[in-house]
Structure formats: structure tokens, C-alpha cells
Amino acid sequence: MAIRYSDPVNAIKHSDTGDILKLIAQPDMISFAGGLPAEELFPAEEIAKATEIVLKNTPGKALQYGPSLGYDPLRESIAKRMNRMVKTNYTKDNVLVTCGSQQGLDLLCRLFCNKGDTVLVEKPSYLGAITAFNLSQVNYVEIPGDGKGMIIEELEKALKENEVRLIYVVTDFQNPTGITWTRERREQFMEVVDRYEVPVIEDNPYGELRYEGEFLPSLTTFDKKGLVCSLGTFSKTFAPGMRLGWIAANTTFIEKCDLLKQNMDLSTSPFSQHVCEAWLDNFDFDAHVTSVRDLYRSRRDAMLNAMDEFFPKEVTYTRPEGGLFIWCTLPEYMVSRDILKQCIEKKVAFVPGDPFFTSEGNTNFLRLNYSCNDEETIRTGIQRIAEVLKANLK
Ligand code: PMP
């Protein structure tokens, strides 16, 4: 049979990250590879009570088709929380509820880009954003950072040399590097973007998971022309299985997004949205996020302490103030995929860094996740990786 597939589907590259995740799914493997929230944090009993409330009080609305923009009380709660946490100035009319922030990435790329258009991304960038944008068959220009955010001169150069349609950034505890942009860099970035008038996706799934230091204002604080689209999610602060995220942006963008969303899936699950809103309404979200932060802070500390103790000095790494990831830079002669093979033999795993780049090469990086192993396991796993690293030093 000569079945033919579409160009975007034919253009999907085989993901060997998926193969790695399958390979390491063995019971005695210590995995720092995924980015999964800790299951013991999911408030299952509270969710059961919230579900009961929904089914008792509003079964018709929760089980019926719902508005494509989302459930109004939840949109309202999202806007209020953003205004409090990252100093935005949104109302519910600025919010569209999505099926996770992953859908927001797909939707916004479709909103602004045609096939062959240029998207600016950080170097490195979130792998899932790159794969989502690939469905729109765009091209990329990578902008390097310096630990404080995108290098502004490089950004300006890229904007001058290319007709850029969209910029994608993760300003808080980036996946994969764990790096957070400084306040000054956010301001400088928006000053440049404002001149070129290019829409920006500020993807912020980890912003609330700050373990130390002060919360920084979102890019929207410095956005005079309404160019920033904020992506948020309940995946890391509540439960990823709810599949609830959002796009917050100026109302013109939101209306356009709404048209797209209607055609994509009619709406995000009304049931999920009602349960989430009932949970927010009846339980203490702040207290829950505090317990999430407390657990991850101690796991991050356990990982960094073990790395300080066991890793050879030739390997450098970030010290994130929040989020879920640490990014390691190996000596240039080391290939992280070779290191991974040796680590898997010792029953420990991580994700090699190269899929987080849109350019070739970049073979000497790796990402470590600390959210879903206890402190003792983290120490054992890091010790094993350190042994492999030391054995590979020249
Ligand atoms: N953006 C970033 C930077 C992420 O790390 C993730 C989750 N790994 C997502 C978006 C997608 O999250 P979700 O769809 O669960 O909201």
C-alpha cells in the first residue's frame, strides 16, 4: 500500500530520548533522566474530595462540553495568582486554559509562524518546545546565554540578520540548565524586543518552585506593547495528569488563540478544570506549594552536595535556585552519550545534552533531575556517575 504521510509528520525525527527512557525503565536503575514530579506529593485524597464536590454541585457543567477559553472561575484564579506571584496585570480575559503548557507551545507557534519562518531559541532550549515547533516546520536561530540570561548583543544581531517571527524563552530555572535570568537582563531583553516588535513566549512551568532568593518579575512587567505570551501550568505545582496549563497574553492574541483552540480540540477537559478549581477553592494551594518546595529543595541540596563531594573538578555544573534540573558541562573530549552507556552498566542514568540544541555537536553536556529520588538514592547515583566520569578523565 502506498500510504503517504504529511510533510510535518515525515519531518519528525526519531527521538532517541524516548529510547533512552525505555532502556532505563528497569526496577533497579537509578534514573535522573526524566523530569517527573514526585508522586508522593500528589494530593490524591484532596482531589477525591474536590471531585466529590464537583459531581455533587455542578455535574452538568463539569461533564458537559465547555467554553473553549476555559472555565471562567479557573481563568480568574490563574490571573489572580500570576498577578501575585510574578507581578503581571492580567484579568480572566487574558487567560486561555490549555491541555498543559505543551499545547500552548504548539498553539502559539501555529499562531505566529508559517513553514520556514525563523524562531529564536535559547542555546540550549527545552527539548519539548523544539519538538512542538518542529510540527510547524520552522527554522531556528540559537542565542547563547551567559548564566544571567540571553546575551543581548547576540539577540540584537540575530534580530537584525533574520526576519524573526517568534522568540521562545524560559526565564526561571530553565529546562535543561536550571538558569534564571536576572532582573536587569529581563529588562534589557524587553527593550530590544520592543524595538523589533516580535512576539515572545515566556514559558514558566517552574517559577513557583523557588527554593531560595526572591521571586523575579515576569517579562510582561517590562512589556510596553503586549508582545509577551506567558505560558503556565499546574503540572509541577499540582499534578501533570490533570493536563492543565494556560496561555496569558493580550486579549487580541487570546481571541486568536481561542479560534485555533476551538479547531484543535474544542476545549480543555471541563471536568479537569472544575476539579482543579474546586481544589483551589477548598484546599490550601500555598501550603501545598510550600511542601513541594521543601521536598525538592532538600533533594536539590542532596544532589549538589554529592556532586561537590564526588565529581571531578573538570566537570562544572549549574546551581539552580529552583526548578528540577542541574546542567553539567563535561570536558570537551568527553561524549555524554558514551558516559551514559557506561553509567547504564552501573545502573544509573541521565539525559545527554545534545537534544536540547537545534545545532549539531554539543556532545559534552548532560542534564540531571533531582525531583523523584530520595536523598540516599541521589547520593548513591551521583557517586556512580562520578566513578564513570573519573575513569574517563584524560
Ligand atoms: N515547558 C517546559 C520548559 C517544561 O519543562 C515542560 C514539562 N517538562 C513543559 C513546558 C510541558 O509541561 P505541561 O504540558 O505538563 O504543562
pLDDT in tens, 239-254: 999 999 999 999 999 9
Q: Which ligand 1 atom is nearest residue 126's CA?
A: 3
Indicate if ligand 1 lies below 6 Å from the C-beta of 37.
no
3-state class (DSSP) for residue 217: coil
Indicate if ligand 1 lies below 6 Å from the C-beta of 126.
yes
Confidence band (pLDDT; 50, 70, 90) for 78?
Answer: very high
Cβ pair 85, 207 in contact under 8 A = yes
CA of 129 to the centre of ligand 1 (A): 8
Nearest by Cα to 120 from 87, 150, 100 = 150
CA of 83 to the centre of ligand 1 (A): 21
Per-residue pLDDT at 362: 96
SS3 labels along 52-83: HHHHHHCHHHHHCCCCCCCCHHHHHHHHHHHH
Indicate if ligand 1 lies below 6 Å from the C-beta of 268.
no
pLDDT in tens, 341-372: 999 999 999 999 999 999 999 999 999 999 99
Indicate if ligand 1 lies below 6 Å from the C-beta of 128.
yes
Confidence band (pLDDT; 50, 70, 90) for 11?
Answer: confident
CA of 101 to the centre of ligand 1 (A): 6
Indicate if ligand 1 lies below 6 Å from the C-beta of 145.
no
Q: Which ligand 1 atom is nearest residue 240's CA?
A: 15
CA of 102 to the centre of ligand 1 (A): 6
Indicate if ligand 1 lies below 6 Å from the C-beta of 102.
yes
Query: Ligand 1 pocket test: which of 233, 325, 356 has the largest number of ligand atoms within 8 Å of its C-beta?
Result: 233
Position 3: which residue type? Answer: I
CA of 36 to the centre of ligand 1 (A): 10
Query: Ligand 1 pocket test: which of 78, 98, 102 has the largest number of ligand atoms within 8 Å of its C-beta?
Result: 102
Residue 216, pLDDT > 80, answer yes
Indicate if ligand 1 lies below 6 Å from the C-beta of 207.
no
The residue ranking higher by pLDDT, 216 or 11, is 216
Identify the weakest region by mean pLDDT among 1-10, 92-101, 149-158, 303-312.
1-10
Indicate if ligand 1 lies below 6 Å from the C-beta of 322.
no
CA distances from 92 to 71, 83, 144, 216, 269 (A): 10, 11, 35, 22, 18
Say whether domain 44-282 belongs to CATH 3.40.50.300: no
- Does the predicted interface ipTM exceed a cut of 0.95? yes
Cβ pair 317, 328 in contact under 8 A = yes
Q: What ranges do the domains of the chain cover?
A: 7-36+287-391, 44-282
Q: Which ligand 1 atom is nearest residue 324's CA?
A: 5
| Start-to-end Cα distance in the chain | 54
CATH topology of domain 7-36+287-391: Aspartate Aminotransferase, domain 1 (3.90.1150)
What's the angle, vertex CA 233, arms to CA 185 and CA 303, rounded to 5? 70
Indicate if ligand 1 lies below 6 Å from the C-beta of 35.
yes
Which helix (H) or strand (E) segment is 272 a member of? helix 270-282
pLDDT in tens, 14-68: 777 777 777 778 889 999 998 899 999 999 999 999 999 999 999 999 999 999 9
